[in-house]
Amino acid sequence: MTAPIEVDIPHQLGTAAAKERIGSSFGKLADFIPGGAVTEHRWEGDSLFFTVEGMGQRVAARLDVAAANVHASFELPAFLAMFSDKIRAKLQKEAPKLLE
């Protein structure tokens, strides 16, 4: 059983500029999982799909980039679900820095 976390990140960059900034910094999201590292990633249009592995767990993530917003979705495995509120709060605080 997974527990999804969804966060919206507003921006004023436009789609192309937001994708460029995310492409160079999304690996920082692995820091949200202790010992985490991005093990695979791919762009499909304006959506970035990637996997973070850490603590023996795999987190599937998706960033949907639009002209004024990035919608982030993370599927946490049951083991990490107990930390979902803390992870969500940290994402809401830190994820906008990916677009700076």
What structural domains does the chain harbor? 4-98 (3.30.310)
- pLDDT tens profile 31-46: 777 788 999 999 999 9
Tokens matching residue 38:
């991005």
Phi, then psi, of 49 in degrees rounded to 5:
-105, 130
* Mean pLDDT (the chain, rounded): 88
Say what the pTM is.
Answer: 0.87
Strand partners, 52: 38, 59
